[in-house]
Each structure stands twice: as structure tokens, then as C-alpha cells.
Structure 1
């Protein structure tokens, strides 16, 4: 579904990141945006065969420049996410299309709230074995490599800096992704690669969902 023409539009947008050029080329943008919408719907349809998906959102191409030194008005990529049905299912799948071998497939927890982060840390301090088994599994490692995301430089308040799971407890975000080349994104098996990555991350989401829907005694929070 993704073509060289779509990538070329994004390359041209990067070189002509101004409102005049964009307005002149808006029909081309709308054409490619329609392609991306169709792609996201197809991915959601596939995901819904194995997971409960609440819907998807494609991010606007317009940048919020209010607090940025970069005043370029437009993003140079298409991206969005697929949300699982809350409150029982947590985590979100992320898809990003950008030329220059910068396309991404992955997901995770980008901004867990204070209560969720505390609950995750409590669980990891109690026993991080299950999570380590998931993220250290050979197929998971081959797909995503390491965990990304912001983390504290020291132990969070109330946690021992010598905790065996301190490397995980310090995390403020839990993010996994793999990059794809332009050729991979344009290849006939692109959808298959996306779905394989999303299926691979499911055990991580299921672990987090189990943690965040129970209290520290393992009792369910939702009935």
C-alpha cells in the first residue's frame, strides 16, 4: 500500500516545509493520507482477529510549534496508534511511516500515570522474573532488541537502589520498536512484518494488563 510516490511526497515536504508549498500540494497530501487511512484500517481489522482493539488514531501532520525551537509547521512522517480496550487491556500499538529507513513498528507505555507506574514498580520489586522472561525471549529480542524510554538516574522514592530489578524499576516509559527500511515498507509482505511485530509484543502487554488490573495482593480491581 505504501509506494515510492508517498515516500517522495514526504521527502519533498521535508525540503519545502512551509504553508505555501503544502497548500499548493494539498491534493497530493490528501491522496497519500487516504492511503495511510486505508492501511491503518487494514491493520486494525487484522489486529481485531487476535486482540480487542478499541480503535485507532492517525496523528495530524500539523506540528504544535508553541514550545519548540523548530518552527517547521508540518511533520515529515505519517504515524498513529491502535488502542486496546480499557480498563482490562493495557498498552498501545504504534505505526510510523517515514522515508530514509526511519519507519517504525512497535508499542508500549509512553506515559503511564503516577498510580500505574507505582503499581508496575511494586510488582517488579516483588518479582521481575516474568517480565524478564518475556523481553529476553530470543524471538522478542530478535524483533525489538532492547527496551527504550526515559528513566530515572537513581531509585524512585520508596525503592531500594540495590533492588535486583532496579534497572526496570527506574523506567518511566516502557517502549519497544523496530525500524524498517523503505524497501521493507514498500514490499508485499509489509503488513505481515507489522503483524508479526504486534503479535510479538502481546505477551508484554498481557503481563502489564494483569499487573495494572490487580492490586498489590493480586486481587482484581475490576469485575
Structure 2
């Protein structure tokens, strides 16, 4: 049966007006579908007692049809309007939190897997800490700022990569303070020892990163700042000056920490043939006062041996007699001295002068070790001449003694 045209429908409505009224009262098919669909996504109506109210499809349809009265005509509706609409979830709440104090190590909010105690979906915003304020003490090139020591103290208590990332600003400001102090100290040292060149910071300052590949200690950082000066910087075959700062563990020292086989052989050869050359340096007044616990001239050598006894050989070195008078010196495999600095000395305004004075006392010892292990061409010839002069003097003394003996025999 053919459909009626629009004109035919309009003419029928004109003859019988009740047709149009019945049509307007009848709910549209689209409205019924939308009402039925929405009921699956919304909660059932409940009465005041909290029990579910019986469904009333007619009232539900009527509400939907009233809402559709303001919509566009059906023929212009898109497919998206016919899709079921889901209820939106509330937006997540943003909460600002800061990392707990250092006393709760391992439970900071920024650590992975830590329980925050917050509701699911809560976003935590952790602000990156800023460096400590300088306070009433300004930063200076010739001093160590208290914030630098505080950072090293915190690093020792929180020695892991995640913590250092969070407090990178403190690390950068402390490293800058240390580097500026090292530059000022280098200028002083070059005046004391003219064999020390002005090298870039990277050749003098040690990094705080530890090599833990073959270590039982898993901590990734050194809890101190340190630097070493020699003719080739912190690395090389020469004896060096050394400075380290850390809360309750700061000191100044120098010498050969781990000499290679050639340098060690040269030192033992000198101790075997001319031990007084090293002993005279150890018995120096400044050396004994600053680095050998104020020992006497006779006890200076024993104090030096005790300082380096940790790595010494248990037996005699190969090629030397166990009954050698200086066998304890020959057993040494490390030739270093050092003295501790208190935190008060490190933070004192005169710390640069204090360390420079220690370097002055250390200079003869460093120079002696370098002349023995790696002598310059001119120094080697001078030492040989000195040995020849010593030999000539001994020969002259022996000749005079022989002459006196012959004279006494002839008189008899």
C-alpha cells in the first residue's frame, strides 16, 4: 500500500481536527528509545524511606518528551544525539603536598610505591625544593659556607639518587661554593710550591660519585668534597696535596697514597742507601708539630711509620735483609701524612690561611718524595754530586785517621 503524501495527511487533519490532537499526545518513537536507554545509566528513583520506587514508564517518557520540545527537529538530529549518554565522573582533586622531613627516610611521597594515605584518584603535587637561603652569612670565595656543610650532612643521611634529584638545587649551590674556595686555595698553593700549575677545576676537584661496581658499599655518593693538587692535578705519578671537607671528617694531608712500582722501588732504594734524606724532612719542626702529633725528633720517624702501618708489608720486601736497621720504613707501601680539621676550623673566616699554613709545612715532604721518585734532570745531577761530596768527605776523614795512626806508631 502506498504511503500517503504530506498534502493528503494535511487534508485529512483539516477534515477531522481530532487526528492532529491524538498525534501530538502520542509520544515519539525516538523519545521512548532515549528514555528507555537512559534508565540503564541512572539510578532508580527512591522514595523518602530509601526504598526503590516503582518504575513509571509513562512519567519517564513524558519528561523526556518535554525536554525534546526544545530540541531541533528529528530530521536534523545527528547520530551522536541518538547515542546513550554516560554520567561523568567528578574531576580529580589536586592536593599540594611537600616531602616529609629527613627523619622519615624511605617514606617520602616522591618515592615509588610509598603509601600516601590519600583517596584513589587524588593528584599529589610535590614542589621541588629551593636551595637554602644564605641567611646572615654571605657566600665568599675564601670561606666555606655553613650551607655547604649542612648539605653534606644531609647527603650522608640520605645517600641515594632519588634524594639528590629532589635536592639538586642545594647540591649545585654547595658545589659552586666548594669550587670557588678551591680556586682561591690554588692561588695560595702556587705561591708556596712553584711546581704546582694552575689547572682547570676538573683536574683538581674529585667528583662525589662513587664506583660501586665492585664495592660492598651500595651508597652512590661520597659524603664529602675533596680536591688534590700535584704537577698533573689529582691524577698522575707525583706526590700531591690533599684537602677534604665533611662534617666531623675534614682533614688536610699529602704524599703518596698509592705509589706505582717504579716510584716505590726508588723510595726503598733511597731508604736503603741514604735513609737520613727522608728522616730529616720528617724531623722538621713544622712537620712534627702539624702532622706527626707534635712528636719529638727521635719519635718523628716512628710516628710516620705508625701513620702508614695499615698497608705496610707483614714481612721484609724482596731483595732486602730482615735485619736492616730501617726495615720498618722499607715495609711501607704508602707515604702520607695528614691532620684533621674541626668543623669550627672549616667554617672559620680564616680557613684559607689555615690550610695555606698546613701546605707550607707539607711542602718539604712533597718536594722530597718527588725528587726521589721522579727527579728532574738537574736535581738528579745535584743529588749525585752531593753523594760524591759525601763520599770524598768520608775518604778524607778515613785518610786523616790512618795518618794519625801511623804517626802514633812511629813515635812508639
What is the TM-score when the length of structure 2 is the normalising length? Answer: 0.50
After TM superposition, give the deviation of residue 209 of structure 1 in Å. Answer: 2.2
2:164 and 2:370 map into 1 onto residues whose CA distance is 42
Aligned with residue 98 of structure 1, among 246, 256, 266: 246
Q: Are 1:15 and 2:157 counterparts?
A: yes
Partner of 1:3: 145
Q: Are 1:53 and 2:196 counterparts?
A: yes
Report the CA distance shift for 1:66/1:12 in structure 2 as closer, same or farther (over 3 A).
same
Partner of 2:268: 121
Aligned with residue 213 of structure 2, among 66, 71, 77: 66
- Structure possessing the higher relative contact order (Cα contacts under 8 Å, 6 or more residues apart): 1
Structure number, greater radius of gyration: 2
Note the 1:1-223 alignment, pairs <5 A: 1-51=143-193, 52-54=195-197, 55=199, 56-84=203-231, 90-100=238-248, 102-145=249-292, 146-147=303-304, 148-149=307-308, 150-212=311-373, 213=375, 219=381
1:22 and 1:214 map into 2 onto residues whose CA distance is 45
After TM superposition, give the deviation of residue 210 of structure 1 in Å. Answer: 2.1
Between Structure 1 and Structure 2, the one with more helix by share is 2
Helix, strand or coil at the partner of 1:27:
helix
Q: Given that residues 316 and 327 in structure 2 are in contact (C-alpha distance below 8 angstroms), is that contact kept between their aligned partners in structure 1? A: yes
Unaligned runs of at least 5 residues, structure 1: none
After TM superposition, give the deviation of residue 64 of structure 1 in Å. Answer: 0.9
Report the CA distance shift for 1:48/1:14 in structure 2 as closer, same or farther (over 3 A).
same
2:157 and 2:232 map into 1 onto residues whose CA distance is 39
1:113 and 1:167 map into 2 onto residues whose CA distance is 19
Q: Given that residues 232 and 238 in structure 2 are in contact (C-alpha distance below 8 angstroms), is that contact kept between their aligned partners in structure 1? A: yes
Q: Given that residues 90 and 206 in structure 1 are in contact (C-alpha distance below 8 angstroms), is that contact kept between their aligned partners in structure 2? A: no
Q: Given that residues 192 and 363 in structure 2 are in contact (C-alpha distance below 8 angstroms), is that contact kept between their aligned partners in structure 1? A: no
Between Structure 1 and Structure 2, the one with more strand by share is 1
After TM superposition, give the deviation of residue 21 of structure 1 in Å. Answer: 0.9
After TM superposition, give the deviation of residue 208 of structure 1 in Å. Answer: 1.8
Helix, strand or coil at the partner of 2:204:
strand
Aligned residues: CA RMSD: 2.1
Q: Deviations over 1:14-67 (max 9, x none)?
A: 111111110010111011101111111111111111322133521111111111
Q: Given that residues 144 and 176 in structure 1 are in contact (C-alpha distance below 8 angstroms), is that contact kept between their aligned partners in structure 2? A: yes
After TM superposition, give the deviation of residue 219 of structure 1 in Å. Answer: 4.4
After TM superposition, give the deviation of residue 118 of structure 1 in Å. Answer: 0.7
Helix, strand or coil at the partner of 1:198:
helix
2:271 and 2:367 map into 1 onto residues whose CA distance is 15
1:198 and 1:143 map into 2 onto residues whose CA distance is 10
